Chain A
Amino acid sequence: MSASDLLPFQASLEARRSSGGKCLVPYLTGGLPGWELMLEAVASAGADGIEVGIPFSDPVMDGPIIQESSELALAAGATPPGILDGLSRLDIGVPLAVMTYVNLVYRFGYERFADSMVKAGVSAAILPDMPLEEAGDWCGAADAAGVQTVMLAAPTTPDERLLRVVERCGGFVYAVGLLGITGERDSLAASAKVIAKRLKDVTDLPVLVGVGISTPEQAAEVCEVADGVVVGSAIVRRVLETGSPESVADFVGSFREALDKG
């Protein structure tokens, strides 16, 4: 293992895993009114790490809920430097990753963005529209700065490609649980456990399933195979509906409970 494997986000997930637990990574859209308070509340509700979305005008991997939260955050004046600056002032005791689309990072400048992440105390980046083919320039900058790049693995990814994805990946592997964009689903897609199993067979990195994990029951079910879950739309819907850190924290806590029960 290289030194970069010890960066906080991955370290937190591995600590949870080696203690026999399952990892919980909630997603929150940065830049919404009161988002810092929401982050603090979620951190104390049992999150092993938090994925903070930097909103983009054209989020093609996202469904209606994250689209809406992105539009609201942008209307409230959210910007990449503003969100990174906000994160740098937070001390919530839980490691952070940012999720955004590649144009915002490209515009900021790959090296400058990676350096700003480090200054903000963010150790991993998730860029859903940057597949292996296009990852070289960003990953060069990220590696140099000491930032890990979480790659996505999809149900459509062939076996041979899966090996190359996990090789390039850091922090954890983001297993896309179904064919589709982010959003809540009534039941766990059969593809979720399949992709988790395929990944577990080829990597020691924590394998977290995201996209379509909507309830504590679905989270527990997929974690029969996976090391953990990323939960986005279900949480963000409650953020938009209630605006209440307590109520969102309660909801995140119900995932923690379900995962701990196993």
Chain B
Amino acid sequence: MNNDLKNQADELAQVFASDMVGAPTGVGRFGEFGGMFVPETLVPALHELEAAFRDAWSDPVFRNELDTLLADYAGRPSPLTRCDRLGEQLGFQLYLKREDLNHTGSHKINNVLGQALLAKRMGKTRLVAETGAGQHGVATATAAALLDMECLVYMGEVDIARQELNVFRMRLLGAEVTPAVSGSRTLKDAVNEAMRDWVATVEHTYYCLGSVLGPHPYPWMVREFHRVIGTEAAIQCRVALGAEHPTGRPDVVVACIGGGSNAAGIFSGFAAFPEVDLVGVEPAGGAAIGHGIPGIVHGMKSYLMQDEFGQVSEAQSISAGLDYPGVGPEHAHLADSGRAKYEQVTDAEVIDAFQLLSRTEGIIPALEPAHALAWVVREKESLAGKNVLINMSGRGDKDVGQMMEVLGDTL
């Protein structure tokens, strides 16, 4: 074995042995967070799902099938791009993990292909999903088309209006899109509707949850399906930073946080190395960690924006994909343990960052990863001279219509 390969193998061993981003304890606990707070009807299904996932995840046939799909269908590995123009302007080395180049336009496909294959293996014939910006819905509809499964996606009425392109894409792919008309009519309510559907259809339906959210085993399983982002990025950074770099790892890894799936994926490649700073960026209007306190909703205990009585607050963000008052329980644990820090940016900063990356690098980002970018722009002085890795979790095509309205004649 040559040294590089040996180093990589050692590193991977360190990653998997770490209690950060490892397997949850007890009933899906990350520290005090997580759990399985669902109606009794769903508990046996969740136990069945956990057993099926454990079995599949340790089965080389399943892993090979998924890896093949990820490579030949989704286009993995996604590239790592060094952004020289923007990096020079900001005063540090900027790298983007290009999940925006995956089939369907975001990181969501990693999780969906894994879950859809698992659903098939479990003998389920129908997928239900919730979606915010529509990226997870599109990915689920795509997998359903590919694997010949029925698919129903719940989407908040407000999100349907601001992401009509993705609604049409889902329908084009053969999925049914049903509006969630209760509450804030955004992602939170779409999750409620998907869970209600699943309570009634659990015998033949698989709930394809789109983030590191919900009851155990979803937060753990979805992160494992996104671990590929971090694993690839760790290897790509080593190559990009060159043999002379002492660790071959970036100084800072930054990702946007709604539920937190793309962040969980990229953090998993670096969490075992304490010298790498992990930064999650929440929208100021949907900052579960920034503004929330521990609470229980959607099957999990985590940080939650809520009022003094425990009624869940409505998030307010320009980005439909981050417009969620909760956060994945593992992020709550990473925040409490201090391993990752969570920052907030405003819609205005996001709009600026969206344009900046477009003009300097020719990459139109989705509004979600534009949050991560907005934070590094604001923090450019403290980041000076460092190697900064951002998870570019999705592309901006879906947001162009909305941004046309926001920017209007100003361009």
Would you give the 0/1 interface string for B154-197, flagging 1 where the beta carbon is closer than 8 Å to chain A?
Answer: 00000000000000000000000000001100001100100110
**Does A108 contact B199, Cβ atoms closer than 8 Å?**
no
In the complex, whether B200 has a CB less than 8 A from a CB of chain A is: yes
Contacts of A156 in B (CB 8 A): 40-45, 202-203
Please name the residue on chain A nearest to B200 by beta carbon: A180
Min CB distance B58 to A, Å, is 23
**Does A157 contact B200, Cβ atoms closer than 8 Å?**
no
- Near B by CB (< 8 A), chain A positions 152-196 give 152-158, 161, 165, 176, 179-181
- Near B by CB (< 8 A), chain A positions 192-208 give none
Stretch at the interface among A3-11, A14-22, A56-64: A56-64
**Does B39 contact A128, Cβ atoms closer than 8 Å?**
yes
- Near A by CB (< 8 A), chain B positions 28-87 give 35-45
Contacts of B295 in A (CB 8 A): 103, 106-107
Stretch at the interface among B108-116, B305-313, B340-348, B378-386: B305-313
Contacts of B308 in A (CB 8 A): 107
**Does B310 contact A161, Cβ atoms closer than 8 Å?**
no
In the complex, whether B18 has a CB less than 8 A from a CB of chain A is: no
In the complex, whether B27 has a CB less than 8 A from a CB of chain A is: yes
Closest 7 CB pairs of A and B: A107-B310, A180-B200, A154-B41, A57-B311, A152-B40, A154-B40, A103-B296
Would you give the 0/1 interface string for A58-87, flagging 1 where the beta carbon is closer than 8 Å to chain B?
Answer: 111101000100010010000111000000
In the complex, whether A133 has a CB less than 8 A from a CB of chain B is: yes
Contacts of A154 in B (CB 8 A): 39-41, 43-44
Would you give the 0/1 interface string for A126-153, flagging 1 where the beta carbon is closer than 8 Å to chain B?
Answer: 0011111110000000000000000111
Contacts of A105 in B (CB 8 A): 310
Min CB distance A35 to B, Å, is 17
**Does A131 contact B311, Cβ atoms closer than 8 Å?**
no
Q: In the bound complex, what is the Cα–Cα distance between A180 and B297 (angstroms)?
A: 19
Q: Which of the residues B188, B202, B301 comes within 8 Å of A58, measured between beta carbons?
A: B188
**Does A108 contact B40, Cβ atoms closer than 8 Å?**
no
Contacts of B201 in A (CB 8 A): 179
Min CB distance B296 to A, Å, is 4
Please name the residue on chain A nearest to B310 by beta carbon: A107
Min CB distance A36 to B, Å, is 20
Please name the residue on chain B nearest to A61 by beta carbon: B39
Contacts of A104 in B (CB 8 A): 309-311
Q: In the bound complex, what is the Cα–Cα distance between A183 and B40 (angstroms)?
A: 17
Contacts of B42 in A (CB 8 A): 156
Q: In the bound complex, what is the Cα–Cα distance between A57 and B295 (angstroms)?
A: 13
Min CB distance B308 to A, Å, is 8
Contacts of A58 in B (CB 8 A): 183, 188-189, 192, 297-298, 312
- Near A by CB (< 8 A), chain B positions 262-318 give 294-299, 301, 304, 306, 308-312
Chain B interfacial residues counted at CB < 8 A: 38
- 17 contacting pairs across A/B (C-beta < 8 A): A58-B188, A58-B192, A59-B192, A61-B199, A71-B183, A104-B310, A107-B308, A130-B37, A131-B36, A131-B43, A132-B43, A134-B36, A152-B40, A154-B40, A155-B41, A157-B43, A176-B39
> Known pairs A134-B27, A154-B41. 20 more at Cβ < 8 A?
A60-B298, A71-B183, A74-B311, A80-B309, A103-B306, A104-B311, A106-B294, A106-B296, A108-B309, A132-B43, A152-B41, A154-B43, A156-B203, A157-B44, A158-B44, A161-B44, A176-B40, A179-B41, A179-B201, A179-B202
Q: Which of the residues B203, B299, B309 comes within 8 Å of A107, measured between beta carbons?
A: B309
Contacts of A131 in B (CB 8 A): 36-40, 43
Question: Which residue numbers of B lie inside 8 Å of A, CB to CB?
Answer: 27, 35-45, 182-183, 188-189, 192, 195-196, 199-203, 294-299, 301, 304, 306, 308-312
In the complex, whether A258 has a CB less than 8 A from a CB of chain B is: no
Contacts of B183 in A (CB 8 A): 57-58, 71
Min CB distance B68 to A, Å, is 34
**Does A102 contact B296, Cβ atoms closer than 8 Å?**
yes
Please name the residue on chain A nearest to B313 by beta carbon: A57
Chain A interfacial residues counted at CB < 8 A: 41
Q: In the bound complex, what is the Cα–Cα distance between A132 and B44 (angstroms)?
A: 11
Q: In the bound complex, what is the Cα–Cα distance between A241 and B395 (angstroms)?
A: 48
Min CB distance B295 to A, Å, is 5
Contacts of A106 in B (CB 8 A): 294-296, 301, 310
Q: In the bound complex, what is the Cα–Cα distance between A107 and B308 (angstroms)?
A: 8
Please name the residue on chain B nearest to A105 by beta carbon: B310
**Does A103 contact B41, Cβ atoms closer than 8 Å?**
no
Q: In the bound complex, what is the Cα–Cα distance between A67 and B189 (angstroms)?
A: 12
Contacts of B202 in A (CB 8 A): 156, 179
Contacts of A132 in B (CB 8 A): 43
Q: In the bound complex, what is the Cα–Cα distance between A130 and B43 (angstroms)?
A: 10
**Does B309 contact A60, Cβ atoms closer than 8 Å?**
no
Q: Which of the residues B36, B40, B301, B309 comes within 8 Å of A79, measured between beta carbons?
A: B309
Interface centre among A80, A156, A181 (most CB of B within 10 A): A156
Q: In the bound complex, what is the Cα–Cα distance between A259 and B187 (angstroms)?
A: 43
Contacts of B27 in A (CB 8 A): 133-134
Contacts of B36 in A (CB 8 A): 131, 133-134
Q: In the bound complex, what is the Cα–Cα distance between A42 and B39 (angstroms)?
A: 27
Min CB distance B357 to A, Å, is 35
**Does A165 contact B200, Cβ atoms closer than 8 Å?**
no
Min CB distance A241 to B, Å, is 19
- Near B by CB (< 8 A), chain A positions 86-135 give 102-108, 128-134
**Does A103 contact B312, Cβ atoms closer than 8 Å?**
yes
Q: In the bound complex, what is the Cα–Cα distance between A128 and B39 (angstroms)?
A: 5
Contacts of A179 in B (CB 8 A): 41, 199-203
Min CB distance B322 to A, Å, is 18
Q: In the bound complex, what is the Cα–Cα distance between A108 and B306 (angstroms)?
A: 12
